[in-house]
A and B are shown apart, each in its own frame.
Chain A
């Protein structure tokens, strides 16, 4: 599974750094490092919906507050 987080200006201001850090921690906690490829990308052109995160190409709008919920529903559930 490939997760990509936008690190463009707009998403950066909306908190892509805490999103990336929480995702890195969650992946390590759940021991999913070998099943998930976490990457960054510059602007996806969907700045209004930032922080923009894609999971295998599907776009999600994530905030530092909702990362955990996003991870449970969209990542862990799908890999289980």
Chain B
């Protein structure tokens, strides 16, 4: 393994008036550390298209991840998909991105707009091999990966955006490429890049999309480790052990919790300087030499969990946390955007002051917060390790 990893993000918008999306993205991890990402676009829109694309992406990702050949996958799909009663065909287009041990990418494309690859911040026209499987014309490419390679897969709803509204022939591929080249220069995450592409499509459609539109972005980036300390150890004698393990780790260090940061300050023998600058309703942060970020505990982390769950869902709070400087926003920026590998050091100490029934915080909530946060971060594709003390 090298020190690259893939940052994957996708977003869909539905055909106007439909509650379900006819496009589907499925991601499966293989045991050898490879990832299979499938973007499928079912024929038509609504329920029928949704079933077709969900089946297609799920079958392909599961079968490929289990090591079966592409031919078998395509045959299985052809034999499995229900036939559309209106059009008399079973049809779902697909794009497969297979990232093998973060070294090589295999791109397999069937009838979707071709994947855009940005390398060294510019469009790179990668070689494609044409092949025929079960009468279907399929393109296959094998690409050696580099840091900052950005793959942009789309359903045809993206290049069709704006037909008859803003443009005669939709959003041209060259124009999508130059738009994404410009956005990519800002160093945005995969989730944000896919969101921006699809939001622009929505705008071109006059916010009444004439087709389901989906984009899935895979960005090859260097691994960035990060460490977060939360809560004092259950047994105070373990403080030294907890602190030495925490501070020995490479990467940035975040400390959450008043008592916890006081213990860290004592261990580092540096003064802890809480600020009195409030931004929003999150308690202020503090400064401590040798630590990248010091915040209050449960209230702040509770907000981070809310942001994390929103981020993997509708991503409606992005503007709230991406630009602010309060503790919860700063943690979110570090964990969601910057980090790829996160080590949690969680203390099991029970704060006697929090066992007051009048307070909306208690020990079990604190332990749940860590579990919910690590589950959400895992869904963002991050590697999480939690150690309890």
Q: Could you list which residues of chain A lie within 8 angstroms of chain B, going by C-beta atoms?
A: 5, 7-10, 12-13, 16-17, 20-21, 24, 38-43, 45, 47-48
Q: Please tell me if B296 contacts chain A, counting CB pairs below 8 Å.
A: yes
Complex Cα–Cα for A38 and B257 (A): 21
- Tell me which of A12, A21, A48 contacts B283 (CB under 8 A): A12
Nearest CB to that of B282 among chain A residues? A12
- Tell me which of A9, A24, A48 contacts B258 (CB under 8 A): A9
| Contact pattern, B 276-319, Cβ under 8 Å of A = 1, otherwise 0 | 10100101101000000000111100000000000000000000
Complex Cα–Cα for A12 and B361 (A): 12
Least CB distance, B195 to chain A, in whole angstroms:
33
| Contact pattern, B 110-146, Cβ under 8 Å of A = 1, otherwise 0 | 0000000000000000000000000000000000000
Given contact pairs A17-B281, A43-B353, A10 touches B359 in the complex (Cβ within 8 A): yes
Q: Please tell me if B262 contacts chain A, counting CB pairs below 8 Å.
A: yes
Q: What would 24 A/B residue contacts be, using CB atoms closer than 8 Å?
A: A7-B258, A7-B276, A7-B283, A7-B296, A10-B354, A10-B356, A12-B283, A12-B299, A13-B360, A13-B361, A17-B278, A17-B283, A21-B278, A24-B276, A39-B274, A40-B274, A40-B275, A40-B286, A41-B274, A42-B286, A43-B353, A47-B353, A47-B354, A47-B356
Residues of B within 8 A of A39 (CB): 274, 276
Q: Please tell me if B259 contacts chain A, counting CB pairs below 8 Å.
A: yes
Pairwise interchain contact B278-A43, C-beta atoms closer than 8 A:
no
Q: Could you list which residues of chain B lie within 8 angstroms of chain A, going by C-beta atoms?
A: 257-259, 261-262, 272, 274-276, 278, 281, 283-284, 286, 296-299, 351-354, 356, 359-361
Complex Cα–Cα for A74 and B352 (A): 29
Residues of B within 8 A of A45 (CB): 259, 353
Least CB distance, A17 to chain B, in whole angstroms:
6
Complex Cα–Cα for A5 and B276 (A): 9
Given contact pairs A40-B284, A42-B261, A47-B356, A9 touches B276 in the complex (Cβ within 8 A): no
- Tell me which of A40, A42, A48 contacts B356 (CB under 8 A): A48
Residues of B within 8 A of A12 (CB): 283, 296, 299
Nearest CB to that of B300 among chain A residues? A9
Residues of A within 8 A of B354 (CB): 9-10, 47
Pairwise interchain contact B299-A13, C-beta atoms closer than 8 A:
yes
Residues of B within 8 A of A13 (CB): 299, 359-361
Pairwise interchain contact A9-B274, C-beta atoms closer than 8 A:
no
- Tell me which of B272, B281, B286, B361 contacts A9 (CB under 8 A): B361
Residues of B within 8 A of A40 (CB): 274-276, 284, 286
